[in-house]
Amino acid sequence: MHDDFVDTLELIVDEGRRASAGRFFRLGIDLLDLLDELSEVPRTWRVEELQTGSAHATLAPPEDFPEEEGRVLRLVVESLQAVQDGAGLSDDWSPDAVRVAHRFVEHGQAAEGEDDWTPPRLRLITDVPGPDRDVSLTAGLGERLADLQPFERRMPGAVRGTLVGLNISRGNRASLRLPTKRIVRVGFDSVLRNDLKDALYQEVELRGEMKQDGEGRPFHIRADEVSVLRRPQAKWTDLIGIDPDYLEGVPVHEWLETNRGEA
């Protein structure tokens, strides 16, 4: 890939005729929601180009993260192509991401009596060699996504990790990175905005209604409490030698056996 090239994603609605404003704006919102579900942290996506008539909107990653989020644009198109060809979805797709993708495709379908409808299209513009990366939002694709919707459970719970992203411009979204490196998406009410801002890039515990996938892994929490986890300033190794007479000359294993049970 050329150093100065940035992958972009083109949404094409009502190709060959004047676009329906309702369909175009619904699809635009759905597409942003889908990109949010597949990005590690909420991003501010840019409109690179906009054409009227047949509506063409070209989205680009944030200028600060072109390569990282270019991966997300490729993931959207290539995954939907694979589903259309009869394949499944990768582990990057949470149940919420599958649900948003299904809604996205459904909002692109023809209205009753709309005879000249053509399916909206997503086209990835990239200089990475390979076949065309272009997918039409057909009714068949919507049916496949409905069939692929995975199991999930909801329950009160808590998750711990590092708060790595926060966006309050589109629906109060945040990202929590677990010790396993997986990302849990976070929703919250506005009353928690300042608490989460103050906790950004720190280890926290979030409590609220949690969603888990079929393997019991959390992928979303609607947080109603946030606590920053404080780490002790001193390590155990820092305490070595601080009180050399603490064991009163007794060997360590004997002291442990006497005071804590068998060592």
- Contact assessment for residue 224 and residue 207, using Cβ atoms and an 8 Å cutoff: yes
Question: CA-CA distance, 92 to 183, in Å (whole number)?
Answer: 10
Q: How confident is the model at residue 25 (pLDDT cuts 50, 70, 90)?
A: very high
Residues 143 and 157 in one domain: no
pLDDT at position 127 over 80: no
Which range among 2-11, 77-86, 115-124 shows the weakest confidence by mean pLDDT?
2-11
Decide the pairing of beta strands 134-136 and 152-167. Answer: unpaired
Residues 127 and 187 in one domain: no
pLDDT at position 1 over 50: no
Which range among 154-163, 218-227, 236-245 shows the weakest confidence by mean pLDDT?
236-245
Question: CA-CA distance, 220 to 218, in Å (whole number)?
Answer: 6
pLDDT at position 126 over 80: yes
Structure tokens at 96: 């919420």
Question: CA-CA distance, 81 to 133, in Å (whole number)?
Answer: 8
Q: How confident is the model at residue 262 (pLDDT cuts 50, 70, 90)?
A: very low
CATH of the domain at 159: 2.40.50.140
pLDDT at position 170 over 90: no
Q: Classify residue 16: in a domain, yes or no.
A: yes
pLDDT at position 92 over 80: yes
Q: Could you say which of 120, 148, 176 is where a domain stops?
A: 148
Q: Could you say which of 92, 118, 148 is where a domain stops?
A: 148
pTM for the full predicted model: 0.80
Q: Classify residue 27: in a domain, yes or no.
A: yes
pLDDT at 156: 97
Name the residue range of residue 142's domain: 8-148
The pLDDT of 122-142, averaged and rounded, is 87
Structure tokens at 170: 């589109």
pLDDT at 204: 97
Domains in the chain, number: 2
pLDDT at position 193 over 90: yes
Q: Classify residue 233: in a domain, yes or no.
A: no
Q: Classify residue 80: in a domain, yes or no.
A: yes
Phi-psi region of 178 (alpha: psi -120 to 50; beta: other; left: phi over 0): beta
Contact residues for 44 (Cβ-Cβ < 8 A; gap 6+):
62, 167, 169
pLDDT at position 55 over 90: yes
User: Which of the pair, 122 or 131, is modelled with greater confidence?
Assistant: 122
SS (H, E, C) the chain: CCCCCCCEEEEEECCCCCCCHHHHHHHHHHHHHHHHHHCCCCCCCEEEEEECCCEEEEEECCCCCHHHHHHHHHHHHHHHHHHHCCCCCCCCCCHHHHHHHHHHHHCCCCCCCCCCCCCCEEEEECCCCCCCCEEECCHHHHHHHHHHCCCEEEEEEEEEEEEEEEECCCCCEEEEECCCCCEEEEEECHHHHHHHHHHCCCEEEEEEEEEEECCCCEEEEEEEEEEECCCCCCCHHHHCCCCCCCCCCCCHHHHHHHHHCCC
pLDDT at position 155 over 60: yes
The pLDDT of 96-116, averaged and rounded, is 92
The pLDDT of 157-179, averaged and rounded, is 92
The pLDDT of 103-128, averaged and rounded, is 89
Full strand arrangement of the beta sheet holding 55-60:
46-51, 55-60, 8-13, 121-125, 134-136
Question: CA-CA distance, 62 to 70, in Å (whole number)?
Answer: 9
The pLDDT of 252-256, averaged and rounded, is 60
Question: CA-CA distance, 227 to 170, in Å (whole number)?
Answer: 24
Q: Classify residue 254: in a domain, yes or no.
A: no
Phi-psi region of 181 (alpha: psi -120 to 50; beta: other; left: phi over 0): left
